[in-house]
Amino acid sequence: MCTAKERLELLEQPYLTGAEFARVLNRSPSVVNREIRKSKDRIYFVDGWGYLTDDLIKVFHLKPFVARLKKELTHDTKKAADA
């Protein structure tokens, strides 16, 4: 299972493979690839690189998820600083 920091680092990359995106969502790669195939016409793919991260975020409606990860990360950082 990825931490919030690892997930955000993956989401900051310009392109993600299906397996990397599955790690972000904490789901199996086969399920994620099936969902990507359903929306293939709306997600830009570059051979050798992967899927455009911005398209994945838009198609899978992940803006609230990303905001929650950032909030969780800042909360964890503050908690560690207070300790």
pLDDT for 7-51, tens place per residue?
999 999 999 999 999 999 999 999 999 999 999 899 999 999 999
pTM: 0.85
Predicted pLDDT of residue 83? 62
Mean of pLDDT over the chain:
91
Q: Is the pLDDT of residue 76 over 80?
A: no
CATH no., domain 4-82: 1.10.10
Q: Name the 3-class secondary structure at 16.
A: strand
Alpha helices by DSSP H, listed for 1-83, are: 4-11, 18-25, 29-38, 53-59, 63-82
Element (H, E) at 15: strand 15-16
